[in-house]
């Protein structure tokens, strides 16, 4: 069993007086125990001089005599530092007590594990589920790129950290079971064929059979987590842990859409591939999975509902999808109806084209006379440098005696930009093109707005649901904004959002 997470906001004091409380471990003074697992105890500690807060995981006396447990603690510190990802908990110290028990010093996190969050919020909207999955996939992809296999991916090992300004981010925890991929195919043999490591609810078939594991073993656990987040249920249940493990090995792959019919088909199919019994049939890498999730996100409407790209067969039907609420999935609304095509406005035919044509021919004739006169005078007078003739906004076209004349839009219906377009262009460099923000900058902006929404919300009240929902949709759009056009559109949406939605909230907070 893996250790309880280093949580700053949850305290689980031990029954007896702990001799380590008040003692000094390295540079830190132990304050109190904040979590306990089968292998060790996690303490809150602080540096007495600079007041830096940390979490210290110490092996229990019984576990310290097990060489395997000691190696696991050291392997966790080594794996975390070999990856070096901002969404993986940082471990920056390793030491040993006077009685020989090892300990590690890591960052102290303030927040709650994902499993606790899911119990508090049993009905997550689709956009939030996808956001969490994309954020979890990022550190896992980085670990796999370094050849590290987690082997114990589950909601309790994903930590939702909260910042003082109301923002939040994820941290991946507990690499105590992590293995280095040593095989040519990226696989690694398990520690023993008689010992199965991991958590049954999320265990890949090859892991349950004590067979060699690979990065695709983590993909199976990721798919099991996705299934639970979408349906509110773990993929398999049984009377004993062995029953659950055998179900992962031989039972049919469960379908998300069987419990939640309104789930996007692409997401349903992705979860099924992630949970394939044969590791070779799963996606090639976690990076590929993250890319597929981003494609699904790109097909979401601004409200967070999934919109099919193909048109419906009956455009005149008045039927709509029935919202489904089951488990932790709220609903996915039907695609919005298409807007009717706008008929072009065509002005009645008038004599204006002939007037314009006559004026154009007259200008051409005058220009020819002027050119002939200058050529004739060229023998006695030095020619002046050619200057461009400035002609008004007259569109002169050759007359086709066969094709009908094009209709002309009346003056009143013409936008003012038509006149401005004919003006001379400004000198280059005076008005540099506007720089489109990057996807990372847009993501950071949305997160700042979310943090501001939390600050502007009165104590004891929940943030405005509509505003929070829009911010969730904007965050998804920032993940999928891979082209300048998409990023520019999102920037305009955020500008309007700040003016129309955040503006009133800011004004109310000042009163």
pLDDT tens column, 380-439: 444 455 454 444 444 544 444 444 444 554 555 444 444 444 444 445 555 566 788 998
Does residue 66 have a pLDDT over 60? yes
Residue 410's pLDDT is what? 52
3-state secondary structure of 433: coil
* pLDDT tens-digit readout, 70-108: 777 777 778 888 888 899 989 888 888 888 888 989 999
- CA angle centred on 230, ends 128 and 143, rounded to 5°: 70
**Confidence class for position 8, pLDDT limits 50, 70, 90:** very low
- Name the active-site residue from 3, 135, 152, 174: 152
* pLDDT tens-digit readout, 158-216: 999 988 888 889 999 887 665 554 343 444 444 444 344 578 999 999 998 888 899 99
Percent of the chain scoring above 70 in pLDDT: 66
Q: What is the mean pLDDT of residues 336-348?
A: 41
Percent of the chain scoring above 90 in pLDDT: 34
**Confidence class for position 42, pLDDT limits 50, 70, 90:** very high
Residue 176's pLDDT is what? 67
* 299: nearest Cα among 501, 492, 486, 137: 486
Average pLDDT along the chain? 74
Does residue 329 have a pLDDT over 60? no
Residue 265's pLDDT is what? 94
Residue 155's pLDDT is what? 94
Residue 350 is encoded by which pair of tokens?
Answer: 């008038």
Residue 276 is encoded by which pair of tokens?
Answer: 């394939």
Does residue 310 have a pLDDT over 50? no
- CA angle centred on 391, ends 386 and 395, rounded to 5°: 130
* 201: nearest Cα among 220, 185, 176: 220
Task: Examine the residue annotation and report whether 174 is marked as an active-site residue of this protein.
Answer: no
Q: Output 218 or 11, whichever has higher pLDDT.
A: 218
Q: Output 226 or 342, whichever has higher pLDDT.
A: 226
The tally of CA atoms less than 13 A away on the side-chain side of residue 385 is 1
Residue 432's pLDDT is what? 61
Does residue 64 have a pLDDT over 70? no
* pLDDT tens-digit readout, 245-290: 999 999 999 999 999 998 999 999 999 999 999 999 999 999 999 9
What structural domains does the chain harbor? 24-107 (3.30.200.20), 120-298 (1.10.510.10), 439-510 (no CATH)
Contacts of 326 (CB under 8 A, 6+ apart): 231, 232, 259, 260
Does residue 65 have a pLDDT over 80? no
Residue 149 is encoded by which pair of tokens?
Answer: 């296999």
Q: What is the mean pLDDT of residues 226-255?
A: 93
Buried b vs exposed e over 223-258: b needs ≥16 C-beta within 10 Å?
bbbbbbbbbbebbbeeeeeeebbbbbeeeeebbbbe
The rounded distance, in Å, linking the Cα atoms of 269 and 275 is: 10
| Contact in structure between 29 and 45 (CB atoms under 8 Å) | yes
């Amino acid at each position: 069993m893996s250790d309880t997470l280093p949580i700053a906001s949850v305290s689980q004091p031990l029954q007896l007086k702990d001799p380590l409380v008040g003692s000094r471990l390295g540079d830190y003074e132990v304050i109190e125990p904040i979590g306990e697992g089968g292998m060790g105890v996690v303490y809150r500690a602080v540096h007495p001089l600079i007041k830096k807060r940390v979490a210290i995981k110490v092996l229990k006396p019984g576990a310290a005599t097990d060489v395997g447990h000691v190696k696991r603690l050291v392997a966790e510190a080594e794996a975390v530092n070999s990856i070096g990802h901002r969404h993986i908990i940082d471990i920056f110290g390793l030491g040993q007590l006077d009685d020989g028990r090892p300990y590690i010093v890591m960052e102290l996190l303030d927040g709650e594990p994902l499993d606790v969050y899911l119990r508090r919020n049993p009905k997550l909207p689709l956009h939030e589920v996808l956001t969490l999955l994309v954020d979890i996939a990022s550190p896992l992809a980085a670990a796999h790129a370094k050849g590290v296999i987690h082997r114990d991916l589950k909601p309790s090992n994903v930590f939702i950290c909260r910042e003082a300004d109301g923002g939040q981010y994820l941290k991946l925890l507990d690499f105590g079971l992590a293995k280095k991929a040593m095989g040519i195919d990226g696989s690694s043999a398990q520690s023993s064929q008689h010992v199965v490591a991991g958590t049954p609810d999320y265990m890949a078939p090859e892991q349950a059979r004590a067979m060699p594991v690979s990065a695709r073993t983590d993909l199976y656990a990721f798919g099991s987590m996705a299934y639970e987040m979408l349906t509110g249920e773990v993929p398999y249940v049984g009377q004993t842990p062995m029953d659950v493990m055998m179900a992962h090995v031989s039972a049919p792959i469960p379908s998300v859409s069987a419990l939640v019919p309104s789930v996007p088909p692409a997401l349903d199919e992705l979860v099924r591939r992630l949970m394939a019994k044969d590791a070779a049939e799963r996606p090639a890498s976690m990076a590929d999975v993250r890319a597929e999730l981003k494609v699904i996100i790109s097909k979401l409407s601004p409200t967070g509902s999934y919109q099919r790209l193909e048109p419906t067969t009956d455009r005149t039907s008045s039927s709509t999808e029935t919202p489904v609420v089951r488990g932790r999935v709220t609903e996915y609304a039907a695609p919005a109806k298409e807007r009717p095509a706008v008929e072009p406005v065509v002005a009645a035919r008038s004599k204006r084209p002939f007037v314009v044509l006559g004026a154009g021919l007259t200008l051409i004739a005058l220009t020819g006379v002027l050119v002939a006169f200058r050529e004739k005078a060229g023998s006695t007078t030095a020619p002046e440098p050619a200057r461009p003739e400035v002609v008004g906004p007259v569109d002169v076209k050759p007359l086709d005696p066969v094709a009908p004349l094009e209709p002309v839009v009346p003056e009143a219906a013409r936008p003012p930009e038509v006149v401005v377009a004919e003006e001379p262009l400004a000198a280059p460099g005076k008005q540099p093109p506007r720089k489109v923000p990057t996807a990372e900058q847009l993501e950071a902006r949305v997160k700042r707005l979310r943090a501001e929404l939390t600050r502007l919300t009165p104590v004891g009240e929940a943030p405005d649901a509509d505003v929070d929902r829009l911010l969730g949709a904007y965050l998804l759009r920032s993940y999928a904004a891979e082209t300048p056009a998409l990023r520019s559109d999102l920037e305009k949406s955020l500008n309007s959002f700040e003016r129309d939605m955040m503006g009133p909230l800011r004004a109310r907070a000042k009163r």
